[in-house]
Structure 1
């Protein structure tokens, strides 16, 4: 999932481009109210597929960059306060790295060694977990561009920015990227990243406030649990790796996690969920992914999403989205 606030500015931009924002939101089953909510979340696969579809349908290859220019740190909600009151850029990045799961568990930001081997340079990487959602060029450009815009707003300038790296090939003329980032942009790279001089991480924030930051961090610690520490996350990943190849069972997953099935049920209940609910969610994610990103026959989609036959897929998709698998594919693919 991802917070609906990630789409702030979406409606106005789509309308400026001559599109119908409500139609796109309905097509990808995203509630319009989620865009202005501080707490509502939406499926990240639907979120990303919609960005790619809008860019294609409205012939706006730099849609992600344009949307990032309309956003600011505020889309991160309560995490924003902890970031802007940090003392240095490095401390802010550490905070984002630790708590970005509050915005979306599928996304991560890290400080890593320079992929080009320069010791004085660090890579601020931006990743989406492929186990959670397929790669999206527009969503990646939105995330990296917003990362850049926030750093620029907090520091005033990015003198130490060496280059920007993107895993895909250019969607727009290269000059559009260099104009936006004010630096060299390299494509087809292993991971999306901003390459900055390490000294830039020591840059101090004018908005630093240690007392407020401690309060903000404590709030995040108390009110949000890192999904990596949840049993439900381990169950979800176990199912995501086995659905479509073996018949899933709670006994099999419990054995994989080295616990008794009843213990697993109690642990999941304590996290306000259950095995069947997680299995249904995993099947939905897989089915929508294959319907939206491949031309596989429906029978094959059904098998890969863990259904015994195409009729099982049809019943499930109608229950999830109120339409047939073929209609769902048409909506997601725009064909």
Structure 2
């Protein structure tokens, strides 16, 4: 399992710890190493394959790094990171995929990835830079991790490989003119494996992980884009992620939302899933004007509204699903949240015209 911070931690900021990444990052790993063997290894590292397939949950970035290195070593797959990137489709990055594939130009697609990739994981970033070799006709796309420790070779190969694959897919599956690739680690697989994947020369032991692309790529049009879909995707991304970092409260909400029936919210468990010390998690929530109890209450309110208005479950069962031991506690909570009783709320939802529900 994950290596957590010591109990005497007092002042470590969020970026001094492991950060989360969407579970879809490990999608397809078992198939690469023989199905059951890969699934067993994932289970040994504490990963639930069903959640990986579903893809909306967050897992530990640090643990992803470890499992990739372990699989590469155990199954003699030095090019595992490249293989993982090669099998992913664009939609591994969720709503960002819709914005990119419906961009008007390649430059707009690249800008979207730079601005919103952290919605996939706050641990990674893509930045447009000047060409590291000083060629004015070439620009650089630098892939980086925001963790304090140096990223492993497999994770770097996978990460920059995903960025390369996104550009190929946005460009209708065609080469986009990649000039060369720079990687900060020593070569771990054969040169032919890197050349076959990137279709360009790769150099190692460089300062950063960089794709060297033609400057003119930015003005190249993206074919088949839809303005409406692009606008919807950008609006969604901007509404939810139009700021520097994914709010920790959003990550906590995502974790709790996938655990119906949590019997007593467990701050320590959620902190472990985020690779944070509990006190670091509490401080981060406080900086956003939130508390762990407040996030739990918000999740319960949302789940209660859904279960009351869209199911016919007895209220006692709904109370149990929300982790409330007594139905009376559930009734009081519903009155506090919606200023009405559970039964009236259900009747209102079943009335054709409905009624105004005041959400506190």
Q: TM-score, normalised by structure 2?
A: 0.63
Other-structure match for 1:145: 161
Against the structure 1 CA distance between its residues 63 and 43, is the aligned structure 2 distance closer, same or farther, given a 3 Å change threshold? same
Other-structure match for 2:291: 269
Alignment equivalent of 1:82, drawn from 99, 112, 115: 99
CA distance in 2, matches of 1:166, 1:82: 28
- Superposed CA deviations along residues 7-55 of structure 1, whole A, max 9, x for unmatched, are 1211211217xx7112211222112122112411100000111001100
Other-structure match for 2:170: 154
Other-structure match for 1:95: 112
Alignment equivalent of 1:30, drawn from 47, 52, 61: 47
Other-structure match for 1:130: 147
Against the structure 1 CA distance between its residues 48 and 266, is the aligned structure 2 distance closer, same or farther, given a 3 Å change threshold? closer
- Superposed CA deviations along residues 232-259 of structure 1, whole A, max 9, x for unmatched, are 79xxxxxxxxxxxxxx989xx98xx9xx
CA distance in 1, matches of 2:245, 2:235: 19
Worse-superposed segment, 218-227 or 190-199 = 218-227
CA distance in 2, matches of 1:226, 1:38: 23
Task: Find out whether 1:67 has 2:89 as its counterpart.
Answer: no
Unaligned 5+ residue runs, structure 2? 1-19, 251-277, 297-360
Superposed counterparts of 1:1-335, under 5 Å: 1-15=20-34, 20-131=37-148, 134-155=150-171, 156-224=173-241, 226=243, 228=245, 230=247, 264=286, 267-269=289-291
Against the structure 1 CA distance between its residues 116 and 273, is the aligned structure 2 distance closer, same or farther, given a 3 Å change threshold? farther
Q: TM-score, normalised by structure 1?
A: 0.67
Give the deviation of 1:221 after TM superposition: 2.0
Higher relative contact order at CA 8 Å, sep ≥6: structure 1 or structure 2? 2
User: CA contact under 8 A between 2:86 and 2:197: conserved in structure 1?
Assistant: no
Give the deviation of 1:180 after TM superposition: 1.6
Give the deviation of 1:70 after TM superposition: 1.0
Unaligned 5+ residue runs, structure 1? 234-247, 258-262, 275-335
The 3-state SS of whatever aligns with 1:178 is: helix
- Superposed CA deviations along residues 198-257 of structure 1, whole A, max 9, x for unmatched, are 001211111322221111111122234646375879xxxxxxxxxxxxxx989xx98xx9
Other-structure match for 1:322: none
User: CA contact under 8 A between 1:105 and 1:227: conserved in structure 2?
Assistant: no
Give the deviation of 1:160 after TM superposition: 2.3
User: CA contact under 8 A between 2:119 and 2:246: conserved in structure 1?
Assistant: no
Structure with bigger gyration radius: 2
Against the structure 1 CA distance between its residues 181 and 229, is the aligned structure 2 distance closer, same or farther, given a 3 Å change threshold? closer
User: CA contact under 8 A between 1:232 and 1:271: conserved in structure 2?
Assistant: no
- Superposed CA deviations along residues 184-207 of structure 1, whole A, max 9, x for unmatched, are 101011111110110012111113
